[in-house]
Amino acid sequence: MEKIMYPLWKLAADDQQAFCRRLLGPVAAGLREAGARHVRISVVDDAVAPAAPLRMESSRPAFDAVLSLWVDTAVWRGRYEQVFRDQVSRYHGYLVCESAPIRHEERMPTDGGRVEGMCQIVFLQKPPRLSYEEWITVWQGSHTQVAIDTQSTFGYRQNVIVRALTYAAPHYSAIIEENFPAAAMTSPHAFYDAVGDDARYKANLKAMMDSCARFIDMDRIDVVPTSEYNWAGS
């Protein structure tokens, strides 16, 4: 089983909600019919509009959705890409290796339902100042626990990019998926798991930012709040 992640950009003529309806309707159905074992669509929609201030873009414009597919082999990805290629203005594909420090199956609908709260998608580039070994050791070796300890996440997936699958795909090193409760969209205290505790909020924020600075250059990062939808496969 392999996991492929596709950032997607909507057609210029589309409004965001029309784009969402096509992705969650005929595109999701077509991908399952084509043989995808599991489909996840993380898309910017009205439900996450309150989280717009959390958005960060070093690539402009940032993606409008991210499609995740679990397939028997990425060799036959063309059968999946033909389902959505005419529904988007552009896309890129990445083969990834997923690690899930926090699993959220018990809170994840499997029939196309929306996961509660928001799913924050982060595209990372390894800073030039670090070797690959230094970068991934800091990220997965120590930062992971800092992120868990300082934020209100109930789902956390780290996707290390193995290789780009499509021509001229931008160079990224990893894609992060983080599920937060709805309150985190508008409350920094809720985001940093410190509701009603200003001292804890300040401590968690500082710990998180200090840790991020060790392996992320903030001018080389894309952060997009999305709604997450899942379909279980065979």
pLDDT band at residue 59 under the 50/70/90 scheme: confident
What is the mean predicted confidence (pLDDT) over 122-140?
A: 97
At 103 the three-state DSSP class reads coil
Q: Which of 15, 115, 107, 101 is nearest to 68 (CA)?
A: 115
Nearest to 157 by CA among 138, 142, 167, 144: 144
According to the model, what pLDDT value does residue 60 have? 85
Mean pLDDT throughout 3-18?
Answer: 95
Distance of alpha carbon 18 from alpha carbon 46, whole angstroms: 11
Could you give the maximum distance between any two Cα atoms of the chain, in Å? 52
Res 232: pLDDT: 84
Average pLDDT over residues 33-47: 96
Task: Report the C-alpha gap between 179 and 118 in whole angstroms.
Answer: 6
For residue range 170-206, list pLDDT tens digits in order. Answer: 999 999 999 999 999 999 999 999 999 999 999 999 9
Q: In sequence order, which residues have a C-beta less than 8 Å from that of residue 120 and are 6 or more positions away?
A: 51, 54, 176, 177, 178, 179, 180, 223, 224, 225, 226
Domains defined for the chain, CATH in brackets? 2-232 (3.30.70.100)
CB atoms within 10 A of CB 217: 16
Fill in the amino acid letter for 133. E
CA distance 182 to 50: 9
Bridge-based pairing of strands 111-114 and 65-71 is unpaired
233, pLDDT greater than 80 = no
